[in-house]
Every structure is written in C-alpha cells, then in structure tokens.
C-alpha cells in the first residue's frame, strides 16, 4: 500500500531552535513498520509534507483481530523511526525502527 497523508498526525513540536516535531502514523494494516521506514515511502514533494531531519514518527500497525473486547488487541505492531535525510527531490529517508517491538497477546 502507499503512504496515506490522512493517517499522519503531528503530535508535538515544531518550535525552538531545532524545530524537531513528533508525528504518529497509523498504517492501513497492510504496511508493516519495515515498509514505512523504507526510503521514499514518504516524500515531502509528492505527499505535500514538511518532514525535517530529526523528526520522530511513531508507527502503529492495526490488526484485523475479531476480539473487540480489548481494543489494544487491535494493534499488531508499533515502531518509531527518525527522519535521517530529506533529498532535494523531497524523498524522506528514515532510520531503522528504534523500538523493534512486536506485540504478542496471550
């Protein structure tokens, strides 16, 4: 699946000297954390974004579980990446997942 700007929300920052911001991105469930961290998944030019080096992006991958008694069971994976570079063409390159967390429910 492709990046969906409507699923990206700025949750903090943007001010100060560094201007670093934090974002939360919820995939459509078919994109994994590894997919989101790939270079070019997000693009400042194509996606009309303003991501900057140092910005942090929390990623949530929702699941398709049928057990709705616990909504937390609807989250399959979480991750966090840091924007490492943005090319002049707008291609955003992110770090590897800094959380490296996979959720397992019992």
pLDDT of residue 74: 77
Measured in residues, the chain has a length of 106
SS (H, E, C) 34-47: HHHCCCCCCECCCC
| pLDDT digit string, tens, across residues 22-48 | 999 998 888 999 999 999 999 999 888
pTM to 2 decimals?
Answer: 0.83
Domain ranges in the chain are: 5-102
How many CA within 13 A on the CB side of residue 47? 19
């Amino acid at each position: 699946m492709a990046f969906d700007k409507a699923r990206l929300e700025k949750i903090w920052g943007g001010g100060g000297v560094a201007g670093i911001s934090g974002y939360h991105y919820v995939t459509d469930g078919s994109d994994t954390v590894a997919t989101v961290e790939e270079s070019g998944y997000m693009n400042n030019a194509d996606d009309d974004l303003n991501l900057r080096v140092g910005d942090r992006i929390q990623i949530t991958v929702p699941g398709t579980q049928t057990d709705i008694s616990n909504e937390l069971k609807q989250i399959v994976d979480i991750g966090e990446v840091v924007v490492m570079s943005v090319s002049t063409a707008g291609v955003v390159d992110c770090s590897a997942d800094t959380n490296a967390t996979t959720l397992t429910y019992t």
